[in-house]
């Protein structure tokens, strides 16, 4: 049975990418979220760069409750897009308290998108997560696309279910697994860096794990890769992540150094701690580093190491 989450609404944006036909229009689901806003910005930049006479035409904002199958069907029917990037999801923390809602958004939604894509011959790029792993720490070099998902949370479980459901319905579709993201969240405090700077702005000391490992990526780079992939024909699963495995503490220190360039201030404001020191739930995977060898072969978008990523995320364009 589907769970109604009709109080959750979001914006959708249909961008006419300098073309009068529908072939180059991209529908972004979850356009108002942390990642979705960067995808829309990247699509806009691409449209302006490619159009001889810029004809960027953002549609009136489309809204729908994606947990409601009728509203989703209506949205897809009324949309003239032939390609879609799905950034909509139930966020990690919310899933543990409401697994039914998590399944609706993270599993049933991608299945419905796959059925639509197969029926209409449309292109779908769906965003998933490194947290489909976590039961065991990543092997040397990181998890590869063919490794079997083994999540530890309802979030990871439902995201893994969404990957399977989408690709069963439409094998030509694409699943892009992303790692921990950081960068500008346009004042919403989302993502690893704005979360850290929010803590510091409140005058608190940040405690960051020395024993939790990720391959973090600037959100703007993730958006560029998604836009590149929606234009292409690659199918199946792809790991798009930073090229360096780092601890949460190393990430925080690199971001702090880039923003403030003051090691003494960093010592005052950030301290390392072990995961056992903080009794956090849901269960936190120790190491979900992703192997990006396939992505590096396929993408023109460069996947940065930590120093390059901090620069990309924090330096003004």
Ligand X SMILES: NC(=O)c1ccc[n+]([C@@H]2O[C@H](COP(=O)([O-])OP(=O)(O)OC[C@H]3O[C@@H](n4cnc5c(N)ncnc54)[C@H](OP(=O)(O)O)[C@@H]3O)[C@@H](O)[C@H]2O)c1
The residues that touch ligand X, with contacts defined as CB under 6 A, are 5, 8-10, 30, 32-36, 65-67, 87-91, 105, 127, 129, 159, 178, 180-181, 190-191
Structure token pair of residue 33: 């979220």
Nearest distance in Å: CB 87, ligand X = 4
Selection from 230, 235, 133, 209 nearest residue 178 by Cα: 133
Beta bridge partners of 28: 13, 85
Nearest distance in Å: CB 173, ligand X = 14
Residue with smaller CB distance to ligand X, 67 or 295: 67
Nearest distance in Å: CB 138, ligand X = 15
Positive or negative, the Cα torsion across 293, 297, 299, 302? positive
Those residues with Cβ within 8 angstroms of residue 204's Cβ, 6 or more apart along the chain or in another chain: none
Nearest distance in Å: CB 6, ligand X = 8
Nearest distance in Å: CB 50, ligand X = 25
Nearest distance in Å: CB 122, ligand X = 19
Residue with smaller CB distance to ligand X, 13 or 24: 13
Residue with smaller CB distance to ligand X, 127 or 251: 127
Structure token pair of residue 306: 């930590």
Residue ranges with strand state E in the chain = 10-16, 26-29, 57-58, 62-64, 83-86, 123-129, 174-178, 181-182, 206-209, 213-214, 217-218, 236-239, 246-247, 270-273
Residue of closest CB approach to ligand X: 33
Those residues with Cβ within 8 angstroms of residue 315's Cβ, 6 or more apart along the chain or in another chain: 258
Residue with smaller CB distance to ligand X, 10 or 289: 10
Positive or negative, the Cα torsion across 223, 226, 231, 232? positive
Residue with smaller CB distance to ligand X, 23 or 135: 135
Selection from 130, 25, 136, 112 nearest residue 64 by Cα: 112
Residue with smaller CB distance to ligand X, 48 or 91: 91
Nearest distance in Å: CB 262, ligand X = 26
Residue with smaller CB distance to ligand X, 27 or 89: 89
Structure token pair of residue 146: 């063919």
């Amino acid at each position: 049975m589907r769970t109604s989450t009709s109080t959750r609404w979001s914006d959708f944006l249909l961008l006419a990418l300098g073309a009068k036909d529908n072939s180059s229009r991209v529908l972004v689901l979850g356009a108002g979220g942390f990642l979705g806003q960067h995808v829309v910005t990247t699509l806009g930049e691409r449209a302006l760069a490619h159009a001889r006479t810029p004809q960027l035409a953002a549609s009136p904002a489309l809204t729908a409750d994606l947990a409601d199958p009728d509203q989703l069907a209506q949205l897809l029917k009324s949309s003239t897009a032939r390609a879609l990037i799905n950034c909509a999801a139930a966020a990690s923390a919310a899933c543990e308290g409401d697994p039914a809602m998590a399944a609706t958004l993270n599993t049933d939604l991608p299945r419905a998108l796959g059925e639509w894509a197969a029926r209409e011959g449309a292109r779908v790029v769906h965003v998933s997560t490194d947290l489909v792993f976590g039961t065991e720490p990543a092997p040397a070099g990181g998890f590869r696309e063919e490794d079997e998902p083994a999540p530890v949370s309802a979030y990871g479980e439902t995201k893994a279910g969404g990957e399977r459901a989408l690709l069963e319905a439409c094998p030509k579709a694409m699943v892009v697994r992303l790692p921990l993201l950081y960068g500008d969240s346009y004042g919403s405090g989302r993502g690893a860096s704005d979360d850290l700077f929010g803590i510091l702005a409140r005058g608190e000391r940040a405690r960051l794990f020395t024993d939790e490992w990720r391959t973090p990526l600037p959100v703007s780079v993730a958006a560029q890769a998604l836009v590149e992939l929606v234009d292409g024909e690659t199918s199946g699963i792809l790991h798009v992540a930073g090229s360096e495995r780092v601890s949460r503490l190393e990430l925080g220190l690199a971001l702090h150094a880039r923003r403030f360039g003051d090691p003494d201030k960093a010592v005052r404001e950030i301290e390392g701690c072990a995961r056992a020191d903080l009794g956090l739930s849901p269960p936190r995977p120790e190491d979900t580093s992703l192997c990006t060898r396939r992505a590096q072969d396929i993408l023109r978008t460069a996947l940065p190491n930590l120093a390059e990523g901090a620069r990309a995320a924090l330096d003004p364009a």
